[in-house]
Chains A and B, each alone.
Chain A
Amino acid sequence: MRQEERGELDSLRALDPQAVSAVHARYFPELFRYARYRLGDPTTAEDIASEALVRLLEAVAAGRGPTSSLRGWLLGTTSNLIIDSIRRRYARPEERLSESMTADGPTPHDRAEGSEEIYAVRAAMRRLTMDQQHVLALRFGSGYSLEETAAILKKRPNAIKALQFRALAALRRAMEGEVG
């Protein structure tokens, strides 16, 4: 773990409001962007990014939490929360009517942009495996470099390259399916 992250965890453990605010200011935008990219819906993205930080705080206060990478831990937790959110949505079909725009249709943001293409890409993205969605969100949504993505996912850069290639190929096929 980087020295800077270790320092952040130490100060977080003390539950000092300034330290908590500093950690929030540093990571909330990253987590929000990541979740927003994956889900489309800004409200759920906000909830999930917030929840990931709350879980970090609770884990650190309980003497647990990240051991190798603070950013990796937070993004991993965010990804898990997104998966949980998606599973919950599909497990509760009675909510589909009210949630349909976030689950399967254009988000208000998409509509504001008037872009059906964005909707189609998001829909295609949801047909990828979770690993594939994860790596595309990190590379294209969050803008992490190959090396940063490898560190976050605890994989070698070559493995990320391969995963990325497969993910993009799968996305292209899924987009054809959406259009067709």
Chain B
Amino acid sequence: MSRIHDALESCLADLRGGADLEACLGMVPDLAEQLRPALEAALAAMALSVEEPPAAAANRSRSLLLARARSLSPQARQRRPPIHLPRFAMAGLAAVLAVFLGGGGLLVASAAALPGDPLYGLKRTAEDVRLRLASSSARAELERQFNDRRTGEIQALFSLGRVTPVSFEGIVASQADNLWLVGSLPVHLSPETELEGFITLGRTVEVSGLTQAGGEIHALAIWLRGFELTGIVEEIDETDWIIEGVDVVVPGNTPVDPGVVPGARVVAQLRVDDEGDYIARSITLLGPLPPTATPVPTPDGTEEPEDEQEETEFEGQVESITGSVWVVSGVQVMISGQTRIEGDPAIGDAVRVEGVLQPGGGVLADRIRRLGEDETPEPEPTEVASPSTTESPDQEDQEEGERVDFEGDVESISAGLWVVDGQAVIVTGQTEIQGGPEVGERVRVRAIRAADGNLVAERIEAHD
């Protein structure tokens, strides 16, 4: 079997070098029949173009990462609460204070300025200062106020018939052809309008464009401003939450589902403010709350009482998979982005779960591994193991020469190679085939694992 794998690898190299499929197959005529489907699929897989990330995406991502680095630095942790002054450089602060102290009259005069007016820059600077000086929770409310102010300014520009560069943030309320409604403002899209992100109804976007005399904004660019974070609520300290390891500010007016407590799995709609902080727009409970006081079985069959943040591991059968919540032998297991899932377990499979007991019950999984046949926690009730209890050929702990029994549905039959429940099984002249099984039928397979990890069938019999 390894020969066909080698031939495939060699053909892939040739195809990448511009060789023709038929020419590749011609090099290995005895394997051509088996190789052709794989190579045709490889050509399709190669055709999926993957371009470099747009520069704007890389910039946004880098900004987020740098903001996170700043928030993690010891200096930032010391400086932030309760005084929020040192969020920006002292030189910048001095300049801003000079504006405040020396330019009070100008500030008052700038309050009514519209985009394009000489004092408008000062107005925005003053707003920026207010945002920087505000507490995290107050900042969200200020941002909302300033966004409303942007809308008012743009409507004033409409009434004056001015063509002026503007930018504002809002929720996409409608997307009819080339005319969108963002917040309460009509936005006209042209072929030149730059769209960043997959923008759908209800998403928060930032629009940059030009006001038009007809009461529309001609959009130059529209990009997403909000995103979604799914994870476990790890900590709630008034407005400062930690969700899945991420610091999130949850202002008092943020809609939060009842029952969201530490340990709950939630979806948070977030926006990134100009400081790089994540501000929650809403917190939605995802799935049922973990059961309380659920005893977690240990490998020796005993039960341990619940203990906060206690690490645990156990083995059991996957009973259900609902989104990120699994049930393994009656225990609710929550999956996070950090959970390592090995062996592609499915419902009915025996697995080993390693994780941390949650305060409300259940386990936050660090790792879920599908068990091999020899690891099955309980002795098999029948002589034939389910496919899930069989090691897949690509698992690392496979042993050459071991016997593997499993049952599954025949997915394909070709010369010398069957696929049963996703597993390739080599059929040789010595393989005993009973009952004339066909594609789609259930079979029992007895096989020997070869040195290269492949399964060589000794017997395949139709399952009654």
A residues sitting closer than 8 Å to B (CB atoms) are 15, 17, 20-21, 24-25, 28-29, 32-33, 36-37, 41-47, 49-51, 53-55, 57-58, 61, 76-77, 80-81, 83-84, 87-88, 90-92, 98-99, 101-102, 107-108, 113, 117-118, 121-122, 124-125, 129-131, 136, 139-142, 146, 154-155, 158-159, 161-166, 168-173, 175
A80-B338 in contact (CB<8A): yes
Closest 7 CB pairs of A and B: A91-B323, A161-B5, A168-B38, A172-B41, A172-B37, A32-B53, A171-B41
Q: Are A43 and B197 closer than 8 Å at their CB atoms?
A: yes
What's the Cα separation between A102 and B199 when bound, in Å? 11
Question: Besides A51-B337, A61-B72, A165-B38, 6 other CB < 8 A contacts?
Answer: A50-B60, A54-B246, A131-B394, A140-B48, A161-B8, A162-B394
Roughly how many angstroms separate A65 CA and B51 CA in the complex, as a whole number? Answer: 29
Interface residues of B in 33-55 (CB under 8 A from A): 37-42, 44-54
Stretch at the interface among B63-71, B146-154, B179-187: B63-71
| 23 A-B contacts (beta carbon < 8 Å) | A15-B73, A20-B69, A28-B53, A29-B52, A42-B53, A42-B57, A43-B198, A53-B61, A57-B68, A80-B340, A84-B230, A84-B339, A87-B321, A102-B198, A113-B49, A124-B44, A161-B2, A161-B9, A162-B2, A162-B5, A166-B393, A168-B42, A169-B419
Q: In the bound complex, do residue A166 and residue B424 qualify as a contact, i.e. CB atoms below 8 Å apart?
A: yes
Q: Which residues of B contact A113 (CB under 8 A)?
A: 49
Residue ID in chain B nearest A41 by CB atoms: B198
A168 with B45: CB separation less than 8 A: yes
Q: Residue of A at shortest CB range from B452?
A: A158
Separation in Å of the B395 CB from the closest CB of chain A? 9
* Interface presence of B384 (CB below 8 A): no
Main secondary structure of the interface of A (DSSP, over half): helix
Instruction: Output the least CB separation between B180 and chain A (Å).
Output: 15
Distance (Å) between the CB of B88 and the closest chain A CB?
Answer: 15
Please name all residues of chain B whose beta carbon is closer than 8 Å to the beta carbon of A164 when the two chains form the complex: 5, 8-9
Contact of B453 with A84 in the complex, beta carbons under 8 Å? no
Which residues of B, 1-44, contact A by the 8 Å Cβ criterion? 1-2, 4-6, 8-9, 12, 37-42, 44
B412 at the interface (CB under 8 A from A): yes
Contact: B245 with A55, CB < 8 Å?
yes
Complex Cα gap A53–B2 (Å): 37
**B224 touching A43, Cβ below 8 Å:** yes
> Does B100 belong to the interface (CB within 8 Å)?
no
Taking the complex as formed, is B62 at the interface, i.e. its CB lies under 8 A from any CB of chain A?
yes
Q: How far is the CA of A130 from the CA of B9 in the complex (A)?
A: 21
Question: A residues within 8 A CB of B286?
Answer: 88, 91-92
Residue in B46, B48, B196, B323 whose CB lies within 8 Å of A90: B323
- Is B116 among interface residues, defined by CB-CB distance under 8 A? no
Instruction: Name B1's closest neighbour in chain A (CB-CB).
Output: A162
Q: Are B50 and A154 in contact (CB under 8 A)?
A: no
Residues of chain A lying within 8 A (CB to CB) of residue B341: 80, 83, 130
Bound Cα distance A11, B325 (Å): 37
Question: Which chain B residue shows the least CB distance to A107?
Answer: B198
A10 smallest CB distance to B (angstroms): 15
Partner of A91, one of B37, B324, B411: B324
The smallest beta-carbon distance between B10 and chain A, in angstroms, is 11
Q: For the complex, is B202 an interface residue (Cβ under 8 Å from A)? A: yes
